[in-house]
């Protein structure tokens, strides 16, 4: 990480200096009369959005929560590889990895001829090379803790205002007025934007008149986090278990070495209603599926019964006609589904990550308000795909075992094959945004086939030129609202390959750096140029590189030596990501880590047009 830019800093580099501007600190229980963004709800979507907005000291953000304090025990626990990539951008990935259970393999069990269950297959949970980071399991409350810490360490010391129940809102021409109940007293806050992240029973969604559309399937599942004594041999592996007559189980080990989560089919109890099902019913159902193995529950940390359902709203914002959106909903407020796909918390956090940088760009004057319409357009399409996947996966998990008596059932081999086939989806890396002002059509995709336009930037190992440090290139994609230009130089003189691009960016009137960077700001404060060379780091001369790749920054005009990287000979990024070694390629990466466009290194007009299509001149 980089610090000491403007002066020497002692102490914790993750702790920002407090904002000295009057009224900007957000660590008090009193709410200001006006804010830029009011977030309702401290769930995964709300906290991700708040953590992103906390990076901008000039944006007045507040987040309110109906509960009296932070979440102590969360229901969600699966953290997909894509979410881990996002956590790296927020600087919390290593903390999550340290505490979490790593899902390395998934075991599949089926009925033996005796009627008991037997293992029939084990697969890697995530395919090799899909992400630098693992799929992990961690209590949602701890994920919240880490995001809360990011907020609290930000310049504005953003802290939630608890015990605030949302009552309603009025949408005006310039502000949205929100009404909140705080211990019996009504508070009003005027906000330029309001975001409802308040769950499946969202009061913000209700205030907008939106409804979740869809049906509950006639399937009931019990779920419990337990400490148990068992002779089941795969108790510390993720398992998908099909029994002959007693239903199915998804078993997920939890963090800490002992806790385990069990999802067990409860269709035999559906007629009684979910509220009538007891913990003993859930335990008994699990024990019957797991025969011949013993499963003795010693302590239950949490349990519940839920009905599977997939529901989605028509709109994720209040835009109407030519009017730009002022109020948004995210996470469970706009899409709900079963827990078995392990996508709820992950997709909700990506909602917040998508919206956060767009709000910041508009509020800081770097983009027109029309940019905000892309949130609903992009994220609703992703939510629809999630609903479709969850419906199919839930149906397969609830289907009886295929047999002559049940020909429409699911064969164990078919279930395992489906899991493997959709591994990229459950890892969270299959999200692909459609062509738009933010996402190109991919006309030059052949220059870098592994950086697919619209998908997340697929990281790979590199070696930093200045100090020979080996790292993942994706680690430069911090959650700071900046676009990245990743210039891959082709064969030949590396400086010559990039000299034209750097000259255009530094000097041309239509350069996006010159057009969109505020006067007096660091040259990389809006669009950050990086370079990757096919040569080894000992073959290149730092001093021969274009000055733009060694920019002078900050109050002291210090040089930034961390802009240039070389291919790692042990895992060459040019080979891994299909980058053209002769022509090179220019990858435009959005602030949410998605590839916006792939261009030739000399496509200056196309590069300028991309940014001019949605950004304002500084």
Q: pLDDT for 464-484, tens place per residue? A: 999 999 999 999 999 999 999
What is the token pair recorded at 378? 């992009």
In angstroms, the CA 140 to CA 71 distance is 8
- Kindly state the DSSP code that residue 447 receives in the 8-state scheme: G
pLDDT at 268: 64
Confidence of residue 412 (pLDDT cuts 50, 70, 90): confident
In angstroms, the CA 563 to CA 532 distance is 9
Q: Which carries the bigger pLDDT value, residue 405 or residue 38? A: 38
pLDDT above 90 covers what percent of the chain? 80
Contacts of 45 (CB under 8 A, 6+ apart): 197, 330, 331, 332, 333, 348, 349, 351, 352
- 502-512: average pLDDT: 97
Specify the residue for token string 């697929």.
458
pLDDT at 341: 61
pLDDT at 166: 98
What is the token pair recorded at 13? 């580099």
pLDDT at 340: 61
Phi/psi zone of residue 582: left (φ > 0), alpha (ψ -120 to 50 degrees), beta? alpha
Q: Does 395 have pLDDT greater than 60?
A: yes
- 343-367: average pLDDT: 95
Contact 287, 229 (CB under 8 A): no
Q: 502: helix, coil or strand?
A: helix
- 301-325: average pLDDT: 88
pTM: 0.95
Residue 517's alpha-carbon distances to 345, 441, 498, 501, 562, in angstroms, are: 35, 26, 21, 17, 20
Residue 331's alpha-carbon distances to 109, 336, 426, 469, in angstroms, are: 33, 8, 17, 38
Contacts of 10 (CB under 8 A, 6+ apart): none
Instruction: Give me the phi and psi of 294, to 5 degrees please.
Output: -85, 145
Phi/psi zone of residue 322: left (φ > 0), alpha (ψ -120 to 50 degrees), beta? alpha
Mean pLDDT of the chain: 93
Q: Does 394 have pLDDT greater than 80?
A: no
pLDDT at 217: 61
Q: Does 413 have pLDDT greater than 90?
A: no
Q: Does 270 have pLDDT greater than 60?
A: no
């Amino acid at each position: 990480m980089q610090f000491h830019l403007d002066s020497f800093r002692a102490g914790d580099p993750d702790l920002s200096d407090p904002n000295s501007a009057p009224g900007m600190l957000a660590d008090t229980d009193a709410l200001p009369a006006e804010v830029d963004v009011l977030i309702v709800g401290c769930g995964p979507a709300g906290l991700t959005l708040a953590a992103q907005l906390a990076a901008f000291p000039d944006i007045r953000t507040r987040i309110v929560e109906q509960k009296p304090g932070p979440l102590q025990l969360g229901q969600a626990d699966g953290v997909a590889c894509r979410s881990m990539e996002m956590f790296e951008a927020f600087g919390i990935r290593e903390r999550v990895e340290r505490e979490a259970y790593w899902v390395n393999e998934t075991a599949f069990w089926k009925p033996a001829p005796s009627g008991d269950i037997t293992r029939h297959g084990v697969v890697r949970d995530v395919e090799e090379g899909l992400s630098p980071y693992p799929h992990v399991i961690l209590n949602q409350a701890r994920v919240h803790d880490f995001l809360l810490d990011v907020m609290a360490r930000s310049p504005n010391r953003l802290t939630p205002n608890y015990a605030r129940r949302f009552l309603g809102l009025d949408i005006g021409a310039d502000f949205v007025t929100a009404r909140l109940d705080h211990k019996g007293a009504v508070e009003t806050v005027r906000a330029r934007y309001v975001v409802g992240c308040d769950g499946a029973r969202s009061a913000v969604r209700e205030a907008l008149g939106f409804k979740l559309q869809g049906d509950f399937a006639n399937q009931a599942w019990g779920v419990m986090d337990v400490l148990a004594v068992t002779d089941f041999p795969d108790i510390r592996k993720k398992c998908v278990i099909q029994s002959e007559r007693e239903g199915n189980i998804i078993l997920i080990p939890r963090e800490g070495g002992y806790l385990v989560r069990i999802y067990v089919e409860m269709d035999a109890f559906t007629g009684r209603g979910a509220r009538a099902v007891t913990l003993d019913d859930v335990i008994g159902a699990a024990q019957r599926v797991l025969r011949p193995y013993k499963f003795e529950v010693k302590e239950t940390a949490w349990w519940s019964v839920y009905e599977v359902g997939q529901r989605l709203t028509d709109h994720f914002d209040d835009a109407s006609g030519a009017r730009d959106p002022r109020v948004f909903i995210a996470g469970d407020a706009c899409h709900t589904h079963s827990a078995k796909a392990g996508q709820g918390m992950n997709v909700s956090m990506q909602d917040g990550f998508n919206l956060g940088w767009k709000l910041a760009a508009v509020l800081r004057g770097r983009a027109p308000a029309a940019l905000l319409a892309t949130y609903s357009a992009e994220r609703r399409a992703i939510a629809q795909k999630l609903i479709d996947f969850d419906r199919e996966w839930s149906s397969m998990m609830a289907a009886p075992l295929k047999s002559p008596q049940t020909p429409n059932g699911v064969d164990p081999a078919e279930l395992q094959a489906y899991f493997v086939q959709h591994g990229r989806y459950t890892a969270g890396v299959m999200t692909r945004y459609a062509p738009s002002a933010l996402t190109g059509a991919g006309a030059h995709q052949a220059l870098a086939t592994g950086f697919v336009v619209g998908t997340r930037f697929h990281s790979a190992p590199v070696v930093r030129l200045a100090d020979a440090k080996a790292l993942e290139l994706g680690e430069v994609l911090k959650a700071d609202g900046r676009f990245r230009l990743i210039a891959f130089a082709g064969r030949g003189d590396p400086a010559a390959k990039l000299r034209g691009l750097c000259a255009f960016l530094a000097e041309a009137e239509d350069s996006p750096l010159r057009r969109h960077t505020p006067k007096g700001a660091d040259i990389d404060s809006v669009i950050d140029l990086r370079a990757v060379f096919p040569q080894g780091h000992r073959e290149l001369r730092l001093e021969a590189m274009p000055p733009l790749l060694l920019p002078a920054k900050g109050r002291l005009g210090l040089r930034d030596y961390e802009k240039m990287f070389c291919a790692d000979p042990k895992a060459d990024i040019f080979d891994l990501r299909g980058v053209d070694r002769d022509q090179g390629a220019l990858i435009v990466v959005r602030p949410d880590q998605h590839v916006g466009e792939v261009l030739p290194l000399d496509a200056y007009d196309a590069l300028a047009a991309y940014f001019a299509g949605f950004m304002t001149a500084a």
